[in-house]
Amino acid sequence: MMKLKNDRFLRALLKQPVDVTPVWMMRQAGRYLPEYRATREKAGDFMSLCKNAELACEVTLQPLERFPLDAAILFSDILTIPDAMGLGLYFETGEGPRFKKVINTMADVNALPILDPEKDLGYVMQAVRTIYKELNGRVPLIGFAGSPWTLATYMVEGGSSKDFRKIKAMAYDTPEIVHALLAKLTQSVISYLNGQILAGAQAIQIFDTWGGNLASNAYLEFSLAYMQQIVNGLIKEHEGRTIPIILFTKNGGQWLEAMANTGATALGLDWTCDLGEARLRVGEKIALQGNMDPSVLYANSQAITKEVQRILASYGKGSGHVFNLGHGITPEVNPDNAAVFINAVHELSARYHS
């Protein structure tokens, strides 16, 4: 087992004592960093960057060179799974991800393979191994996948969507097709994440970006039920260390209790949730991650510091909080503002851990 020089992220997830509140940022390796843009240019395009283990490692480590972050997150994309299933992922400038093939019928679902991580997504496993080796215990490495519902929305809609009308109509008209698709995706996500754990990921995050767009009962049926299966199917301990699992449903604040009952280690919160209230509802049972509005990073340093202070005070004393943004950092943010944010978390949080 590789010894970690900084394990406060893992300790906070397990609600063990820490010296300061750990912090990382969703999309911390991304377009707001000039060095990332240079590496992406070198790779040619986004998917070529994902598929080159050395370059994926380079961009994963870039934010750690700049900021005292408490975790690294694998550089990849949630859509690697549908791509490996043969749907033909490509990116349109200004349009985001698109698929050449979409899922319309039960026959389409039946034709999809269940993925073998080493065989079908070997480039991701190679990236995890490369990053884990390069990190050399500096901070923990987070692996991740999209939730089955979120992946299914892209596979049925053919890309991102404003209203999800195709998949929602399908969920109400022919739920058996959607459930068959979600079941297949769930099996693939479990083996994909377990592959990442065996390759060196020390924590796992499940990104349920679009679960919060469902009606309440539909969320429980089409999103959470499948994330529950993933939590049940993941490797819980590797090389003598617990592997924490973070569930993040954007706009999922109303389902925190149900999410906490899955047995996940932590819940990611977006900025529409009050952190203190969330802690009252579920916090003794489970750790919480979040939840500053990424737009705060466009403000001046005093405003950023004030918002960090407010969120820390809202959570209050004790372990079990991983500071993060409520969604990914946006491309136009000045990296200096991200530095103000990260330093403020460390400086202002010590008093909550004495």
pLDDT, block means (10 residues), the chain with 354 residues = 92 98 98 97 94 98 98 97 96 85 98 97 98 98 98 96 96 98 98 98 98 97 98 96 98 98 98 97 93 98 98 97 98 98 98 95
| Residue 93, annotated as binding a ligand | no
Q: From CA 257, how far away is CA 51, in angstroms rounded?
A: 38
What is the chain's Cα-based Rg?
Answer: 19
**CATH number of the domain to which 252 belongs:** 3.20.20.210
Task: Assess if residue 340 is contained within a domain.
Answer: no
* Residue at 26 is within a domain: no
Amino acid identity of residue 335, one-letter, is P
Question: Considering its fold, how many domains does the chain have in total?
Answer: 1
Q: Which spans in 34-105 are helix H?
A: 34-43, 46-51, 53-66, 80-82
Let me know: does 249 contact 259? Beta carbons within 8 Å.
Answer: yes
| Candidate list 8, 11, 40, 279, residue with the active-site label | 40
The verdict on residue 331 lying in a domain is no
User: Quick count: other Cβ atoms within 10 Å of Cβ 316?
Assistant: 14
* Inside any domain, residue 305: no
The answer to whether position 4 is within a domain reads no
pTM of the model: 0.97
Give catalytic status of residue 154 as yes or no. yes
Annotated ligand binding at 179? The verdict is: no
Q: What is the structure's pLDDT at 93?
A: 74
Within a domain: 220: yes
For the question of residue 7 being annotated catalytic, the response is no
pLDDT in the model for residue 91? 85
Give long-range contacts, CB 8 A cutoff, 24+ apart: 48-56. 49/75, 50/75, 50/76, 50/77, 50/80, 50/123, 50/124, 50/127, 51/123, 52/123, 53/123, 53/126, 53/127, 53/129, 53/130, 54/130, 56/127, 56/130, 56/131
Residue 79 belongs to what domain range?
Answer: 36-275
Return d(Cα 283, Cα 59) in angstroms, integer: 33
pLDDT in tens, 69-87: 999 999 999 999 999 999 9
In a domain, 88, yes or no: yes
Within-domain flag for 263: yes
Residue 31 marked ligand-binding: yes
Active-site residue, 77 included: yes
CA dihedral of residues 29, 309, 137, 230 (deg, nearest 10): -70
pLDDT digits (tens, 9 = 90+) for 258-279: 999 999 999 999 999 999 999 9
pLDDT at 345: 98
Residues with Cβ within 8 Å of 52's Cβ and at least 6 positions away in sequence, in order, are 43, 123
